[in-house]
Amino acid sequence: MHDAVWNRCLKIIKDNVPSISYRTWFEPIVPVKLEKSILTIQVPSPFFYEYLEEQYIDILRKVLRKELGFDAKLEYSVVMENNGYSSSSKPYTVKLPARNQKELKNKPVSFPIDSEATTIKNPFIIPGLKKLNIDPMLNPENSFTNFVEGDCNRLARSAGYAVANNPGGTAFNPLLIYGESGLGKTHLAQAIGIQVKEQSQDKTVLYVNANKFQTQFVDSIRNNNKNDFIHFYQMIDVLVIDDVHEFAGKEKTQDAFFHIFNHLHQSGKQLILTSDKPPVELQGLEQRLLSRFKWGLSADLQIPDFETRMAILKMKTYKDGIELPEEVVEYIATHITDNIRELEGALISLLAQSTLNKKEITLDLAKDMIDKLIKNTKREISIDYIQKVVCNYFNIPLDHIQSKTRKREIVQARQVAMFFSKSMTKASLATIGTQIGGKDHATVLHACKTVNNLIETDKRFRIQIDEIEKKLKI
């Protein structure tokens, strides 16, 4: 019974969170038991429990109430196998509250008295907070030293280095770094923060993803401490907001960030933003925010050229103390061209093949591995690309699909774009809706059902869908 309930919850959760987050935070959960309206789930560590509480308590509450009713309760059993603890350790119970009750959060998990586990503190709790206590949330590996410069990123890197040496004192405020996934936006943004901290220990630096910022803001409203939330961010000297495009459609979050942005900018503090598009192409963001993004410098990261890809691979192998034949490095750099993340992933796969199979790294081994990697890797299709293909097929201007019009042919094209975006991308329903006409996730679900029904009942429509699908896969 508990397995069936949890599986139904997972189906809803999977549609509403990014796939990588789902695999990381929900697949490891094991449903343990269900008694009345109390579902017990097993998680592998206190940090895992705390992260669920920080990031996903809202969706957990909604799906459990849907399955078990308004009195649903969630109980965590924290099992730390590496430390010898088992499910006999006392679980921590969190009651999913009624609307007029205050949420219970950040309570300690109960462990045996000899437990050496320490609770990871949330750096965003306000009371009594001193600036020096703020964890900058930076990965030390993402330094300028480890960032390979090339024609594809020279402007962004140079601007970032100038900002790092004089935060808030250059014309590059804000500095907005944009580009496709896997090109090094997060690395470069964090490198600026690391450099600032190395040169000025008294500077308060903070890196936070836009999704994390939005979650914290929602929590602050629920806990009646919105002013504390805004005050906390106004304390920062160098604020790095990653993936700022994720603010799209979240009006109240944008409003809070607008006030934080204004305060920091007027106070001479530095703002660093990353996005998948330049400001002029961002959708779902208020015009007043977009205009402020243009105050400083927008610098793009492009796909690395062959020489830069070679340099990245050589730096990686040098750091790891590995020697590769030049022809192997050239082969990888020639055939993996889309982004840096895939390039490093190919190198790791090659080293793993060599180590696990006890084979020498040769050109033949590299060819075999790379060929399989390319064959098994599907080209990632963007929502923007899907909209363009659908509009071209139906001979509809792209801006019409983004409009509020209810003309039948426009509505159907919009629904088809939503249908393919759900089936061919990893985007959540909410993200798809935001990018296609500013709709909500319920509209996307309805669109997908409508298209599926027409595929089953309308032969002409089914042929159209097949033809569009072929164009998308070219």
| Model confidence pLDDT, tens digit, residues 143-163 | 998 898 888 888 999 999 999
Of 5-9, 19-23, 319-323, 369-373, where does the model show the most confidence? 5-9
Could you give the CA distance from residue 375 to residue 369 in angstroms, rounded to a whole number? 10
Q: If DSSP codes are grouped into helix, strand and coil, which group holds residue 309?
A: helix
Q: Which residues contact 362 (CB under 8 A, 6 or more apart)?
A: 325, 328
Establish how many alpha carbons lie within 13 A of residue 309's alpha carbon, considering only the half-sphere containing its beta carbon.
27
- Determine which helix (DSSP H) or strand (DSSP E) holds 92, and give its type and residue range: strand 92-95
User: Which residue, 277, 296, 273, 134, is CA-closest to 190?
Assistant: 273
350 pLDDT band (50/70/90 cuts)? confident
Could you give the CA distance from residue 460 to residue 455 in angstroms, rounded to a whole number? 9
Mean pLDDT across the chain: 80
* Angle at the Cα of 16 from the Cα atoms of 12 and 20, rounded to 5 degrees: 110
Could you give the CA distance from residue 447 to residue 465 in angstroms, rounded to a whole number? 14
Q: If DSSP codes are grouped into helix, strand and coil, which group holds residue 275?
A: strand
Q: What backbone torsions phi and psi does residue 30 show, to the nearest 5 degrees?
A: -115, 120
Residue ranges with strand state E in 101-233:
175-178, 205-209
Q: If DSSP codes are grouped into helix, strand and coil, which group holds residue 417?
A: helix
User: Which residue, 160, 214, 231, is CA-closest to 191?
Assistant: 160
193 pLDDT band (50/70/90 cuts)? very high
Please give the residue that has the higher pLDDT: either 270 or 314.
270
Kindly tell me if the per-residue pLDDT of 119 is higher than 80. no
Q: Do the beta carbons of residue 273 and residue 241 sit within 8 Å?
A: yes
User: Which residue, 41, 87, 80, is CA-closest to 60?
Assistant: 41
Find the largest Cα–Cα distance for the chain: 69
415 pLDDT band (50/70/90 cuts)? very high
User: Which residue, 236, 143, 249, is CA-closest to 198?
Assistant: 143
The domains found in the chain, sorted by start residue, are 2-95 (3.30.300.180), 134-300 (3.40.50.300), 306-376 (1.10.8.60), 383-472 (1.10.1750.10)
Please, which residues bridge with residue 56 across strands?
none
Q: Do the beta carbons of residue 271 and residue 239 sit within 8 Å?
A: yes
Please give the residue that has the higher pLDDT: either 326 or 358.
326
Kindly tell me if the per-residue pLDDT of 268 is higher than 60. yes
Burial (CB count <10 Å: 0-12, 13-18, 19+), residue 274: buried
Q: Looking at residues 334-340, what average pLDDT do you find?
A: 77
Q: Which residues contact 41 (CB under 8 A, 6 or more apart)?
A: 6, 29, 30, 31, 32, 74, 75, 76, 77
Please, which residues bridge with residue 25 across strands?
none
What is the pTM (predicted TM-score) of this model? 0.55
Q: Which residues contact 56 (CB under 8 A, 6 or more apart)?
A: 13, 17, 25
